[in-house]
Structure 1
Amino acid sequence: MKLQKALTIIVLLLIPFVNFAQGTKKLDKIIKRDYQIIEGTIAKISDKTVEYSLPGETVQISLDVSQIARIEFASGRSQTFDVTPENTTQTSSNQNIAVQEIKPNTIAVLPIPYINSDTQQSSEDMAKFAQNDTYNKLLDKSANIFPLTVQDLRTTNSLLHKAGIDHNNIDETPIEDLQKILGVDNIVAAKISYTMSSSSTASTYGSGSTTVSNNDKKVKSTDYSTTTANTQMYYYYNVYFDMYKNGTKIYSQTRQPFLKLKDSWIDSVSYLLKRSPIYVKK
């Protein structure tokens, strides 16, 4: 009897120590990307979520790993979550870029490289001019490309600039990446290359010396001649015109203008645009 009483006293004395030990149990720490710290017990970790429970609770809470920067486990081990934020994606060139929500039935005109094939020099001014000309053509024919809406040129160029893309490297960027950057499902991608040659002609006007009689006196008169040189420049263009929808090429044509004038490429762009699958005659 005395032994039983002694054991009961020992148990009663141990209860506070057990409760104290349980209350001081080390917990896992979840450090979020917004610097909030959550203490609890990690139950499960997957590629997309972390499941945990709060102290004194059995209900499991799910947290997206994109919100987590690091977990410090009660065991002393830590795990860092290097997850790309939701508003960015990784391009095929391994660069993080801002991602826009794709707006259905929208079309963007990319900067149009304007390259001298002999020197491989690209003109930034002409690339912008060609882009602007194509953009205006689409706007003028908005009724013919319905239900497509043309993305504002300032928006297009601003988004490309933020992604580090211009007329010099636009050809090196996959269409899938450009679609994510611009947030459109249709893209016009053109390119203009050219070579030049010149032809010179000379024209001479006038006459030589003559002798006339004046009151039985001979008078010598000299006429003057004028030579004019003309130089004509000829431009030999190749206009490449591609159109994409949801990353797939739906139209690809190349045209060489019949005339060899400096602005002949403009007519070729108009010709190719009117024969593209987005154009409907009204």
Structure 2
Amino acid sequence: MRVITFCLLIFTSFVIHAQETVKYDLLLMNNGEQRSGKVLEISDDEIKFAYAGETLIYTIKKTDISKITFASGRIEFFNPDTTDTSGDDAGPADFYNKLAILPFAYIADRKDGGTEMPVKIQQECYTILNKKANNLQLQDIQTTNALLAKAGVNNGNIQGYTMGEICHILNVEYVIQGMITTNETGEVSSTIGHNNSVIRDSDKKNVIGKILNTTTSTTTSEKNYDTTVNMNIYDNNGQHLFGQEHSSLWPGADAYRITLNYLLKRTPVYGK
């Protein structure tokens, strides 16, 4: 009896585990919405789709879909021309020699640094590379961020995309992706003192008086930080072309700028 019970428990655990690991097709809509379920049919203009755990079949226009990630792992993109904002009749090869800079992840004192700094650092990278991009065409920051927003991509979910997919969304051949971490390590105080021992006349030639043991001082405090910059470059096939991490030698809050410039100069996209 105990053996039967034990076997039933194992079987039940196996069934539960199998149910938990069921994979579904994932639709990413043009508005950023994600739908999980089963793609039943794909025609020229639409797809048949059922939500996970449901049997009702929906018809969805292919023009509303950005991509489908099938349960098998295969990815199919839709409407590739929607990522082109040039206004021209762009062909499929128009992504060649184009480079986009993604908003940098920013971690301050082991916490998410918010939304302002990632874009600020992204813009600073663009400024550094703007005239040194080694004959590559830099994508405008506003264009990059608008296309990411339309595809529903942000620093919170970008780990769910390959860099090849990101290149496709942005219609570029290369992307720069990075992260900056900064941790406060303490404060340093400095004192500036001034000793006045004599008073001279208006012509500054004759001493007309003395002030003994008079000292004025100003004390200032500056916070120190440990800052590390990580930078990577990928191509549209998802190949990792460059990766390097460097810790700043300077303790100030804006030390990342010097380190950012240091790493960019060592990337294959920086022109000499």
* Pair 1:263 & 2:240 matched: no
Q: For 1:206 and 1:200, locate their aligned partners in 2 and report how far apart those are by CA, in whole Å.
A: 20
The answer as to whether partners of 1:240 and 1:255 remain within 8 angstroms in 2 is yes
Which AA in structure 1 matches 2:255? S
Task: Supply the AA of the counterpart residue of 1:264.
Answer: A
Which one of 235, 240, 264 corresponds to residue 249 of structure 1? 240
Equivalent residues in 2 for 1:166-185, closer than 5 Å = 166-185=154-173
TM-score scaled by length of structure 2? 0.59
Q: CA deviation at 1:171?
A: 4.5
Match of 2:45 among 51, 62, 67: 67
* Residues 210-254 of structure 1 deviation map (CA, whole Å, 9 limit, x = unaligned): xxxxxxxxxxxx988666432121121110000011211100000
Report the CA distance shift for 1:120/1:66 in structure 2 as closer, same or farther (over 3 A). Answer: same
Using a 3 Å threshold, how does the CA distance of structure 1 residues 177 and 69 change in structure 2: closer, same or farther? closer
Q: 1:276 is aligned with what amino acid?
A: T
- Percent of aligned pairs with the same amino acid: 25
**Alpha carbons 1:186, 1:245 under 8 Å: kept:** yes
Query: What RMSD, in angstroms, separates the aligned Cα atoms of the two structures?
Result: 3.7
TM-score (norm 1): 0.57
Following superposition, the deviation at residue 113 of structure 1 comes to 1.6
Give the secondary structure class of the aligned counterpart of 2:173: strand
Pair 178,230 (structure 1): closer, same or farther in 2 beyond 3 Å: same
- Give yes or no for contact 2:47–2:61 (8 Å, CA) kept in 1: no
SS in 2 for 1:184: coil
Contact 1:66–1:84 (CA under 8 A) maintained in structure 2: no
After superposition, the C-alpha distances for 1:103-142 in whole angstroms (9 at most, x for unaligned) are 11111000012211x3413132211110001012221214
Match of 2:221 in 1: 231
Q: Where does residue 99 of structure 2 map in the other structure? A: 107
CA displacement, residues 60-91 of structure 1 (integer Å, 9 cap, x when unaligned): xxxxx223678xxxxxxxxx795772663125
SS in 2 for 1:278: coil
Q: Which residue of 92, 112, 123 corresponds with 1:121?
A: 112
Does the alignment pair 1:191 with 2:179? yes
AA in 2 matched with 1:189: Q
List gaps (5 residues or longer) in structure 2. Answer: 1-40, 49-56, 84-91, 197-211
Does residue 133 (structure 1) correspond to residue 124 (structure 2)? The answer is yes
- The answer on whether the counterparts of 1:68 and 1:81 sit within 8 Å (CA) in structure 2 is no
Q: Is the 8 A contact 2:242 2:267 kept in 1?
A: yes
Higher relative contact order (CA 8 A, sep 6+): 2
Task: Pick closer, same or farther for the CA change 1:68–1:194 going to 2, 3 Å.
Answer: closer
- How far did 1:155 drift? 1.0
